[in-house]
């Protein structure tokens, strides 16, 4: 029996169905669950006012020290960090440019991306008003092709760090070297590259000027994130962002990318917790949940269950374990049929469909939810096998 929590009953009052999230951290499903420590910090500061500008400056210094960067600043997510970072590269210190964006008149406004680095979030570049210049051809991008794409109008080269090292790409290290020779900025999206935690400092160490992270991936607020790197550039982000729009001189471009003070504090505290938590026990917990799921479902059905690792880019690897992969060995039942049954039932369960396999991700499940899911899958399998004229032991 699942008890309705306070938030669930509010959802119900609003007429939206609460979801058991077995997909992992997705913005569309609400991000992650905030820890009691993060929640308490947000609650504590909710009752008082501060200068948002001071809060962002001071919290930025704390974050910078934690990730080994010269400077940092909280942004409303990694997407906003990319857009504000690009805006800063184009506008520089000129406040009238902060006002003019996304009109880039008189600014360097080209941002280069390698052909095989095109990805979902490169859209954030053009939102700032920049022109996205794709370097390379059918087979990827060579160092020469990347160098040839640089013009007097180039403001930055963008690198999605999770695609660094991909076949047919110039490596981050080579890009930062090239960019420095030409006096242009290297902007890195490292949104989910936060584990092992030492990885967070490696991008600036390789010469990246600005690096963007998303708080949703370190169990911070879904609308949190930060940009870090060269102080000179982070200072420009501070100029162009939402702070000072009301009290300052310029009607800055960044005004819609606004933050709550609770989000700023939640982001810092979540990062602190992420960098100090016992990650081996976190992973151990996923293994235990996976095992208890398999035991429970195994008692009801003969479906093949494999504990596996569901990566941030939605691939399946052997380990470390954070999910269970189900193979339905019956011709009349597919993974997507089971997924739609799970989503349509009560409570709504969302699982990930990977081709003909169903993935149950443990990372976003609360204690015991893995058993609720196992029971529901068991019952879906029983009714489908009844229809097919076969019987599983109940
Ligand atoms: C989620 C994600 C983003 C966007 O981050 P938000 O904090 O949600 O804005 C950017 N890049 C990658 C690779 C992501 O996975």
Per the listing, tokens 């490292």 go with: 190
Q: Does the CB atom of residue 78 touch ligand 1 within 6 A?
A: yes
How many angstroms is it from 304 CA to the middle of ligand 1?
A: 33
Distance between CA atoms of residues 129 and 104, nearest Å: 6
User: Which residues does the chain have with pLDDT short of 50?
Assistant: 1, 390-394
- What's the gap between Cα 41 and its chain centre? 22
Please indicate whether residue 32, judged by its CB atom, sits closer than 6 Å to ligand 1. Answer: no
Looking at 183-230, list the stretches that DSSP marks H as alpha helix, in order from N- to C-terminal side. 202-205
192 CB less than 6 Å from ligand 1?
yes
27 lines ligand 1 (CB under 6 A): yes
Residue having the nearest C-alpha atom to atom 11 of ligand 1: 191
In the prediction, which pLDDT does 1 show?
A: 46
In this prediction, residue 384 carries a pLDDT of 87
In what side-by-side order are the strands of the sheet with 131-135?
71-75, 225-229, 210-214, 185-189, 154-160, 110-114, 131-135
> Which residues neighbour 328 within 8 Å (Cβ) at sequence distance 6 or greater?
303, 334, 335, 338, 356, 358, 381
Using a 10 angstrom Cβ sphere, with 0-12 exposed, 13-18 middle and 19 or more buried, the burial of residue 245 is middle
Indicate the SS3 state at residue 282. helix
CA 26 to ligand 1 centroid distance, Å: 9
Nearest CA to ligand 1 atom 14: 191
8 A C-beta contact, residue 192 and residue 33: no
Q: Using the 8-state DSSP alphabet, how is residue 14 labeled?
A: H
Rounded CA separation 68/296 (Å): 45
- The Å distance, Cα 118 to ligand 1 centre, comes to 14
Judge contact between 168 and 193, C-beta under 8 A. no
Tell me how far the alpha carbon of residue 159 lies from the centroid of ligand 1, in angstroms. 13
Instruction: Assess whether the C-beta atom of 189 lies below 6 angstroms from ligand 1.
Output: yes
- Nearest to 90, CA basis, from 113, 111, 107: 107
φ, ψ for residue 365 (rounded to 5)?
A: -90, 140
pLDDT for the residue 150: 98
**Predicted pLDDT of residue 344:** 97
Q: Which atom of ligand 1 is nearest to the CA of 214?
A: 7
Beta strand 210-214 with 185-189 is parallel
Residue 320 DSSP SS3? coil
pLDDT at 329: 82
Burial class (CB in 10 A: 0-12, 13-18, 19+), 181: exposed
346-378 pLDDT per residue, tens: 999 999 999 999 999 999 999 999 999 999 999
CB contact at 8 A, 307 and 99 = no
Ligand 1 within 6 A of 77 CB? Answer: yes
pLDDT tens digits, one per residue of 281-293: 999 999 999 999 9
How far is the centre of ligand 1, averaged over its atoms, from the C-alpha of 333 (Å)?
34
What are the beta bridge partners of residue 257? none
Greatest alpha-carbon pair distance for the chain in Å reads 75
Name residue, tokens 């490596």.
171
C-alpha 50/C-alpha 54 separation (Å) is 8
In this prediction, residue 394 carries a pLDDT of: 43
225 CB under 6 A from ligand 1? yes
Q: Is 76 in the pocket of ligand 1 (CB under 6 A)?
A: no
Residues 151 and 216: their CA atoms lie apart, in Å, by 36
Q: Cβ(121) to ligand 1 under 6 A?
A: yes
pTM of the model: 0.95
């Amino acid at each position: 029996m699942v008890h309705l929590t306070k938030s669930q009953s509010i959802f119900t009052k609003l007429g939206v169905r609460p979801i058991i999230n077995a997909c992992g951290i997705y913005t569309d499903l609400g991000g992650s669950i905030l820890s009691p420590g993060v929640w308490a910090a947000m609650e504590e500061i909710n009752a008082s006012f501060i200068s948002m500008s001071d809060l962002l400056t001071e919290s930025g210094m704390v974050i910078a020290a934690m990730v080994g960067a010269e400077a940092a600043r909280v942004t409303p997510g990694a997407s906003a960090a990319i857009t504000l970072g690009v805006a800063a590269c184009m506008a520089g210190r000129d406040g009238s440019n902060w006002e003019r964006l996304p009109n880039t008149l008189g600014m360097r406004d080209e941002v280069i991306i390698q052909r095989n680095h095109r990805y979902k979030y490169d859209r954030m570049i053009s939102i700032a008003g920049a022109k996205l210049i794709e370097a390379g051809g059918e087979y990827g991008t060579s160092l020469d092709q990347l160098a040839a794409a640089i013009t007097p109008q180039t403001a930055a080269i963008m690198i999605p760090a999770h695609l660094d090292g991909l076949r047919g790409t110039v490596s981050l290290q080579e890009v930062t070297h090239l960019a420095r020779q030409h006096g242009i900025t290297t902007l890195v999206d490292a949104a989910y590259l936060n584990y092992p935690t030492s990885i967070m400092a490696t991008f600036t160490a390789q010469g990246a000027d600005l690096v963007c992270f998303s708080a949703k991936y370190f169990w911070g607020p879904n609308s949190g994130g930060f940009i870090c790197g060269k102080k000179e550039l982070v200072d420009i982000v501070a100029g162009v962002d939402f702070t000072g729009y009301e009290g300052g001189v310029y009607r800055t471009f960044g005004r819609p990318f606004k933050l709550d003070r609770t989000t700023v504090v939640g982001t810092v505290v979540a990062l602190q917790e992420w960098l100090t938590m016992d990650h081996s026990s976190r992973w151990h917990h996923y293994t235990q949940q996976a095992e208890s799921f398999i035991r429970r479902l195994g008692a009801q059905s003969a479906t093949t269950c494999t504990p596996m690792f569901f990566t941030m880019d939605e691939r399946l690897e052997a380990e470390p374990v954070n999910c269970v992969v189900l193979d339905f060995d019956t011709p009349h039942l597919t993974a997507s049929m089971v997924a739609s049954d799970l989503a349509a039932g009560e409570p709504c369960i969302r699982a990930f469909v990977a081709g003909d396999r169903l993935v149950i991700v443990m990372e976003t499940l609360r204690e015991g939810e893995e058993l609720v899911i196992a029971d529901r899958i068991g019952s879906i399998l029983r009714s489908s096998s009844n229809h097919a004229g076969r019987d599983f032991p109940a």
